[in-house]
Amino acid sequence: MDYQSFLSAVERGMNERLSDDITVSIRTTVKNNGMKKQGITIAKKDVNISPTIYLEEFYQQYQNGKSLEEIIKKLDHFYHEVRYEESLDVETIQSFDKWKDKIMPKLINKEKNQGLLNTVPYMEFQDLALVYYVLLDVRGCGSATITVTNAMMDSWKMGKEELYHIAQLNGRRTLPATLAPMQQIIDDLICPDSKEELELFHKEYAAPDEMYVLSNKIRSFGAAVMAYDHVLEMIADKLENSFYILPSSIHEVIIVCESRRVRRSDLDETIREVNDTQVEAEEVLGNHAYYYDRVRKVLYF
């Protein structure tokens, strides 16, 4: 069964399984970097927030031998974890006071998102773009967000500079930066029960021969922390090194101290290879390294 047939089979199976006031349909969504993804949207009558579940991972499970019935049962359970029972009051979107503390920054590839950038406020950051979203909810299975558009910014009677400063403040307060050795992150993935959230610049981990993962505390859209005021300066001072930044994805970046004596060309080659083979296309941030000069306190690309 190919992916399109799998989508249709899941759509039918979920519609048969769920109650009559819930409708399941196939949806194509334009994601980050202009990538189109297909999944199922599950809409409940009289509720205007409908989760979309992308099925690539479930299709892989099907190809590996899991039955369609098992997958539909798993999707049903997942839906009941992420569903919303009440509608979002869309009229309140125009109320800046209601959302001002929930506006967060997100760093994306500027070149790959020109269509999006025509419709949303953004600030240039190196050769990337800092855009904004409203963080509605955070759960163990993900977060619910709304992209801030030009229309929303206009209804709030706000300029780009003010929006940038508000997102900076909210990000530092609600989604503070975290820095962890890469080995710690790998260990967490292998043994999640041992996972321990690390505060930024924990003293015992300040070793210049390490590689570090820089993100935010929920590790979602965490690459934006590199645009937080003074974060890169603080890292350089703690490590007592200038360093390279590898844009591993929109969710995190990797810090490599200059003292490791790596070649910039080798880092760029590694980034391109990882983007091509390991990172989902809609999560790619950039294809080259950045360099932070500790003495000049300047980021270069």
pLDDT given at position 196:
44
- Name the percent of the chain lying above pLDDT 90: 74
In the predicted structure, residue 193 carries a pLDDT above the cut 60? no
pLDDT given at position 53:
92
In the predicted structure, residue 280 carries a pLDDT above the cut 60? yes
Q: How far apart are CA 174 and CA 164, in angstroms?
A: 15
Q: What is the rounded end-to-end Cα distance, in angstroms, of the chain?
A: 45
The one-letter amino acid at 200:
L
Q: How far apart are CA 279 and CA 293, in angstroms?
A: 28
pLDDT given at position 197:
40
In the predicted structure, residue 201 carries a pLDDT above the cut 60? no
pLDDT band at 122 (very low <50, low <70, confident <90, very high): very high
Q: Cβ of 192: how many Cβ atoms within 10 Å? A: 8
Q: How far apart are CA 63 and CA 124, in angstroms?
A: 42
In the beta sheet, which residues pair with residue 144?
137
Query: CB of 132 within 8 A of CB of 171?
Result: no
pLDDT given at position 185:
67
Strand order in the sheet with 52-54: 22-30, 36-44, 52-54
Q: How far apart are CA 284 and CA 108, in angstroms?
A: 8
pLDDT given at position 90:
64
pLDDT tens-digit readout, 24-78: 999 999 999 999 999 999 999 998 888 899 999 999 999 999 999 999 999 999 9
Q: How far apart are CA 90 and CA 48, in angstroms?
A: 9
pLDDT tens-digit readout, 136-157: 877 665 678 889 999 999 999 9
With H, G, I as helix, E, B as strand and everything else as coil, classify residue 229: coil
- Name the percent of the chain lying above pLDDT 70: 89
Each as own residue / partner, the long-range contacts of residues 287-290 (CB below 8 Å, 24 or more positions apart, any chain) are: 287/247, 288/247, 289/244, 289/245, 289/246, 289/247, 289/256, 289/264, 290/126, 290/244, 290/245, 290/247
Query: CB of 217 within 8 A of CB of 178?
Result: yes
pLDDT given at position 208:
57
Query: CB of 156 within 8 A of CB of 94?
Result: yes
Query: CB of 216 within 8 A of CB of 171?
Result: yes
In the predicted structure, residue 198 carries a pLDDT above the cut 50? no
- Phi, psi at residue 2, to the nearest 5°? -80, 175
pLDDT given at position 86:
79
Average pLDDT over residues 95-122: 94
With H, G, I as helix, E, B as strand and everything else as coil, classify residue 27: strand
Q: Cβ of 287: how many Cβ atoms within 10 Å? A: 15
Average pLDDT over residues 104-124: 97
pLDDT band at 91 (very low <50, low <70, confident <90, very high): low
Q: What is the DSSP string of 64-93?
A: TT--HHHHHHHHHHHHHHH--SS---GGGG
